[in-house]
Every structure is written in structure tokens, then in C-alpha cells.
Amino acid sequence: MATIRQDDFIQSIADALQYISYYHPKDFIDAAHEAWEREESPAAKDALAQILINSRMCAEGRRPICQDTGIVTVILKIGMNVQWDAEMSVEDMVNEGVRRAYNLPDNKLRASILADPAGERKNTGDNTPAVIHMSLVPGDTVDVQVAAKGGGSEAKTKFAMLNPSDSIVDWVLEQVPKMGAGWCPPGILGIGIGGTADKAMLMAKEACMESIDIHELKARGPRNTAEELRLELFDKVNELGIGAQGLGGLTTVLDIKIRDYPTHAANKPVAMIPNCAATRHAHFVLDGSGVADLPAPKLEDWPQVAREGGGDVKRVNLDEVTTEEARSWKPGDTLLVSGTILTGRDAAHKRMTDMLSRGEELPVDLKGKFIYYVGPVDPVRDEPVGPAGPTTATRMDKFTDQMLAETGLMGMIGKAERGPEAVAAIRKHGAVYLIAVGGAAYLVSKAIRKARVVAFEDLGMEAIHEFEVEDMPVTVAVDSRGESVHEAGPREWQARIKGIPVTEA
């Protein structure tokens, strides 16, 4: 009979969360590297290179892979013979582990969890509470799975109660394009089939934590219906041509993982949850012998990947750029931007547009500026700012027309596509939208030379910062005419994959 001590359990949770903040699983590194080697789309290949370079930098520097350090999910299988040497409840111990991990001074992680989600939405300050699932099983150990799930990928979760005769393949192929690029492909699609709605969702989340093994499955062949479905969906989703970061390319998913459970004769519940390029999960077992052992991977596990800089890269000084110059940029152009940018995301945009609607003056001058959709990690040691990759731009779409019309803003930087409302506003005002690579937050932060909060300090990570950047890599996603690389890229690569002659739209 094992006795699990309170502090061993808490410290194991904390250690695991720190570990996954900067170490990708080796299966992800191998799969992403294989995708990079075979990728033929220059834009997607560069995005994959940035993801792999960022991953190695994070492993070396022990800093977060992504600025969104996630909402914590913990799945516990507690042996019925386990004894606890503890005064706290299991839930309280998990949350104390989260608190300890996210406030570690040497690698402080971003607190993203908001209480009163339908009302005040106030940050809890320590990323608690976690989402915890517990079950009692035979045995005398505690099996623990820990994940930190980014909000961008979680937002793309899909669920349907299909009719028994409906095709799961057809439903998935209908949903994946609707997910856009906000989930930061390439990654894993976790699918849960059967049970009830809540059971299907939990299975999809658990599937996201499994190791990537699709190539091994292809080599040995499927043994059941779920494995047949995995293989069919893996090929057909990649044939959509969405590609890394939605730029168009050969690899959209690195694996499809499926779990199923018996269900009612009248139902076919199907849940799909994507796991992004910042795949973060760990598994360990506590047997009463102490804190979990989480061996550091070898740096040799990371490939040496170099970005292939082309002669068409444009260097741009954002403090001097003219409207005419910005309007000359085309979708897919690679820019290295320097100068001053301001940051702002959901809460800041809501506050600014409310102020504009009341006729109040904003605390920052946005005329001729670029705004970067980001909520950075706090800096440590001599960093000007912590990891600072882009957040999903579509959440700012409803603010875009007012911001462009009333502030003189020249452009925006984020990740993923813009919706029709924002594209129309960009075209109307002759603005531009640029993207940085989601999942390369530490790499992006190295281009930020200075950072300071200039407004809305009470919003924490959502405050408005002023960044001074040097050679920050971005891609033109929507030009001043409203042409989008997220439409043209996948359209071109879907045609290429299917052997259809590519024609201009």
C-alpha cells in the first residue's frame, strides 16, 4: 500500500507544469521535423522552421514555448489502495501545484485564468483553478496526466450529436476548414466518439495527450475501426492544403488520435479538440517513493534547423513607413520589421472602443502605428519582456472598423486569418494585417529590445505595452486591397496536392 505525501504530490504537479512549459515531447519534435523536411510550400516551411528553432531555444533557455501558458488540465487515476499523508483535498493540492509552478521566479508563467467568466472576468493571478478529472481504479499508485492547453486551440473545439447514419469523416472535413488557423497548425486532432456529450469531450481531450504514432500505424496497418478512421482522416485532412499556420502546405495535422466509448442507439456524439504547435503534456506515476522523476531530454533530440532567408525579404522601419509603402505589400511577402509597436488584445480593445464611443481621448496615440495582438509573459532576469508570440486576431475583428476609422491605425499584427468583417474594414481603410508565427513566442521575443507598459496597467498581461523591435519576422496576411494569404495559400496547395493545375483566382 503506497502512501502519497502532500508535498510530493504538489511539487510533482508544479514540476510537470514547468517541464512542459519549455520541453516539447520528443514525438512532436520528430513529427514536426519530418513535416519540415518534406514541406514544399516556402511559407509553411519557414513557419515550421521557426517552430522548431523556438522549441530548441526554449529547451536551452528554459522559457515558455508560447506566451499563452495555458489552462491546466489534470487527469488523475487514483488507486483504491492509496493512502494520503495530506491535510488538503486532492483538488486543493493540484491547485497549489499550479500556483507554485506559475509563480516560480526563474520561469514565471503567464496567468490567463479569469474568474466570473460571464461577468467581471477578473484574473485570478496564479492561473488557478485547474480543470481536474478524477477516477478511482484498482492499485496503489496515482497516475497523473498534466496538460497546459492554449486558449487559441481550445477555442476551436467542435462538438456534434450526429445521427447514427451520419459520416464522421464528412463532419470532420466540414469542421476543420471552419477552425481556420487560430489553433496554430500543425498539431494533433483529438477526437472522442460515443458515450454522452461530456464523455466525448473528455475522450477528445485525453486523445490529445497521446503520443504521435501515425507513421507506425501506417506501417503495421489498422486493427479496428478507430484506427481505420485515423488513417483516413489523417490523409484527407492534410489534403485540405491548410498547412502550417494556415499558409497553405502539405502538413496540417501531425496525427489524428481517436478514443471511443459505447453510446445510446439513438446517438452518435463526436467531439474534436485540436492540440496546437505548443503541444504541452506530461505523464507520471506516483508510488509513494517521492516526487515524480521528469528526466530532461537531450538537446541532441532537437534537429539543427535553419530558416531559408530569401532575397525578397523586405526590411521595414515602422517608425518611418508610409501609407503608400504599406499599400505596396502583397500577401505572402516576408518582412523584418523594426521600430515601435503598441500591443493590445481583447480587454484593451474593448476598453478603447468604449472610450472612443463616449468621445474620450485614448491614453495612446495610434495614428500611423501598428498594434500587436499579444499578451506577453513577464520578463525574468535581464529580459525586456518574456515570450511574446501573437494571439488569434479574429477575436479583434468586431473592433477593427472602429479602430481603423477613428484612430488612424495603419496596421495590425497577430496570428491566423481575419474574418469577412475585418477584411472588409482593412480594404475600406487601406490598412494591412501582418502575422507572426504562433508557437514561436520565445523566438519572437528575441526581436523585442525594449518594453514598457503605457496604458491600462490594471489589465495585467492584457495591458497596452510599447515594444521597440528589431528585425521581427512577419508575413503579410491581408493587404490593403483585402487579399488574404489564408485564402490563397490553402486554395493553391489543395489544388497542388490533388494534382489540379493551379490558376490565379
Q: Which residue has the cell 496546437?
A: 276
**Angle at which helices 42-61 and 26-38 cross, to 10°:** 150
Asked whether the predicted pLDDT for residue 167 surpasses 50, the reply is: yes
What amino acid is encoded at 458 in this protein?
D
172 and 191 Cβ atoms separated by less than 8 Å: yes
Identity of the residue numbered 93: M
How far apart are the two ends of the chain, measured CA to CA in Å? 68
CB atoms within 10 A of CB 211: 15
Provide the pairing of β-strand 71-79 with 131-137.
Answer: parallel
Confidence of residue 297 (pLDDT cuts 50, 70, 90): very high
Q: How far apart are CA 132 and CA 124, in angstroms?
A: 17
Q: What is the DSSP letter of 396?
A: G
What single-letter amino acid sits at 204? A
User: What is the arithmetic mean of pLDDT over 239-243?
Assistant: 97
Q: 254, 299, 243: which is closest to 437 by C-alpha?
A: 243
Q: pLDDT tens digit string along 180-209?
A: 999 999 999 999 999 999 999 999 999 999
**CATH class label, 314-490:** alpha beta
The percent of residues in the chain predicted with pLDDT above 70, rounded, is: 99
d(CA 17, CA 130) in angstroms, rounded, equals: 12
Please check whether residue 250 is in contact with residue 257, taking contact to mean a CB–CB distance below 8 angstroms.
no
- According to DSSP, residue 194 is labeled E
Residue 79 pLDDT > 90:
yes
Given a cut of 60, whether residue 316 has pLDDT beyond it is: yes
- Candidates 178, 283, 194; CA nearest to 240 is 178
| Diameter of the chain measured on Cα atoms | 74
The residues near 340 (Cβ < 8 Å, ≥ 6 apart) are 318, 319, 369, 466, 467, 468, 469
- pLDDT surpassing 60 at residue 58: yes
145: CB partners within 8 A, 6+ apart: 74, 75, 76, 206, 209, 281, 282, 283
What average pLDDT does this structure show over 309-326? 87
Joined grid coordinates for residue 85: 499523508
Count of helices and strands (H, E) across the chain: 15, 19
Say whether 31 sits in a helix, a strand or coil.
Answer: helix
Angle at 13 between CA 9 and CA 18, to 5 degrees: 145
The secondary structure of residue 245, as a DSSP letter, is G
In three-state form (DSSP H/G/I as H, E/B as E, the rest C), the secondary structure along 139-180 is: CCCEEEEEEEECHHHHCCCEEEEECCCCCHHHHHHHHHHHHC
Name the pairing type of β-strands 268-275 and 411-414: unpaired
3-state SS track over 427-490: HHHCCEEEECCCCCHHHHHCCEEEEEEEECHHHHHHCEEEEEEEEEEEEEEECCCCCEHHHHHH
Instruction: Tell the burial category of 197 from Cβ atoms under 10 Å away from its Cβ (0-12, 13-18, 19+).
Output: middle
pTM: 0.94
* Average pLDDT value for residue range 24-42: 96
How much is the average pLDDT of 91-114?
A: 97
pLDDT of res. 310: 54
Cα 219 to Cα 37, 39, 190: the distances in Å are: 20, 21, 21
**pLDDT band, very low/low/confident/very high, at 500 (cuts 50, 70, 90):** confident
pLDDT at 505: 46
Q: What is the pLDDT of residue 502?
A: 66
Contact 110, 461 (CB under 8 A): yes
Mean pLDDT of the region 47-61:
96
Angle of CA points 437, 439, 440, to nearest 5°: 65
As a whole number, mean pLDDT of residues 456-470 equals 96
Neighbouring-strand partners of residue 255: 188
Contacts of residue 82, defined as CB under 8 A and 6 or more positions apart, other chains included, come to: 1, 2, 3, 4, 139, 140, 141, 142
Cα angle 334-336-338, degrees, rounded to a multiple of 5: 150
In this predicted structure, the answer to whether residue 504 has a pLDDT above a threshold of 60 is no
Domain definitions of the chain by residue range = 3-287, 314-490
1 pLDDT above the threshold of 90: no
By mean pLDDT, which of 21-25, 141-145, 301-305, 482-486 is the weakest?
301-305
The mean pLDDT value of the chain amounts to 96
Mean pLDDT of 405-428: 98
